[in-house]
Amino acid sequence: MNDTLLQKFLDAGLFNFGDDDARLKDFMAAGEDLGKEFAKNPVSIIPATLVALDAEVPDADPMLERAETAVKKHWNSFRNKFPERQKGFLRPLLLDGVARAAATDADIASAVWLCGATVYPLLATGRERAIVETFLRDQGETAESHAEATWLPEQDEVELSVPKIALTLPKNGPGKLDKSALETGLTHASGPHDRNGTAYPNKPNPHFPNQGGNWSWEFPARAATTIAAEVDKALAPLANQAGALADQIEPNLKKFSKELGASITEWVESSVTGLARRSELLWWRECLYSPHLRRSYRGLSPTETAISMALDLQGTIVAPAPQSVEFFLRETVRAVLPTDPTISLSQLLADTHKSAELAKIVPPQAIASTPQRISLRQALGLARHQLLGAESLPAWLGVKGDLQLSASELAVWIFRDAQAWSLAVPPA
């Protein structure tokens, strides 16, 4: 990876060791190590992304410690040189590791986009904003292409490679009648001897034509035998050539037929699967029924509606979903909550803590004793475990508890986070 994110930070004057190229190489090597680590253990991608994006992340966050450990592997005296935690160096390093891992796997790239796209615009950012926004946009394009390949097959025609058949004909030439042999045979069928009185061999016709009936009874069988024999000999090479051509053509045609059948089957299956997924979404939108809560969304509170719809939809789709599905979710929320009311993050988590309905769909999750960067989807599980005060939310989420978003936008945020985790966390 020649054009690394670290190089972009360096070019922008945001990552600088002066003229010490050896230290830059240490950081490049550390970024490569982190990229391999994140690719091997994708669950680390989400906290690494959230920490890398946030300039206000606490110094004690475990991901910063992880990045520092990667640096010290190549620069043992790093902490002696910088006694305080250097977020200005470690955050770009984490982002470089995330980018390297994302370049190896479309699922990882999709998870990076899904967990970072909503939260980054809400964070306090500095001069690196243009670099980070470009990076996230690239991951978003990868995610969308990845989703469309699964969700929206557009194969109007099946493209097949017609086999090229090079035919080789047998070396013996085309068949030809032996005129001399045919003449000899017909002569023998016409009479007993030649003009010189020399008898013909091989049982000739014992009569001459002037003997009338006797001759005519002998001639046809002898003539037919001669003609048939010579014609058969003339056609024999052609018959051999036809067999040789069939032997060469048949295997290629069988292979082509097999490939044709497989391509048609694949196209039909992908089309039917994509259609089934969209049909299932339409059914869900029309009935407004929660399969997890086993009840209608109508009558739920705005918080319960946003969360249950997001998680129900995540349980229905295959991640990553095209962004069109996010717009579909927004409209479905608005179908139940026409005014699309705003909800603060503090209220969202307080409602989650006490809601009996959400207890059916959001299991409690104990994450850590001290705050560290987590996704909103994780925060819901933490809120089920313990009530989170508004003052603690910046340390957990990077945003204040009084931040207000519409119910539909909160649903999309949770939906994105849930997809990111499904991509990053291998199934049990």
∠ CA 299-302-307 to the nearest 5 degrees? 105
pLDDT digits (tens, 9 = 90+) for 309-358: 999 999 999 889 999 999 999 999 999 999 999 999 999 999 999 999 99
Residue pLDDT, tens place only, 370-399: 889 999 999 999 999 888 888 989 999 999
Distance of CA 191 to the CA centre of its chain: 85
Q: What is the full DSSP assignment across 216-278?
A: HHHHHHHHHHHHHHHHHHHHHHHHHHHHHHHHHHHHHHHHHHHHHHHHHHHHHHHHHHHHHHH
Instruction: For 119-158, write each residue's pLDDT tens digit.
Output: 999 997 778 899 999 999 999 999 999 998 877 655 555 5
For residue 2, the model assigns a pLDDT of 45
Is residue 61 within 8 Å of residue 373, measured between CB atoms?
Answer: yes
In percent, how much of the chain has pLDDT > 90? Answer: 50
The contacts of residue 409 (CB under 8 Å, 6+ apart) are: 330
Least confident of 77-81, 85-89, 170-174, 276-280: 170-174
- As given in the structure block, the two tokens for residue 158 are 């099946």
pLDDT digits (tens, 9 = 90+) for 205-243: 788 777 777 777 777 777 778 787 777 777 766 666 666
- Angle between helix axes 345-354 and 376-385 (nearest 10 degrees) is 40
The reported pTM is: 0.74
Of 385, 379, 372, the closest CA to residue 403 belongs to 379
pLDDT at 1: 40
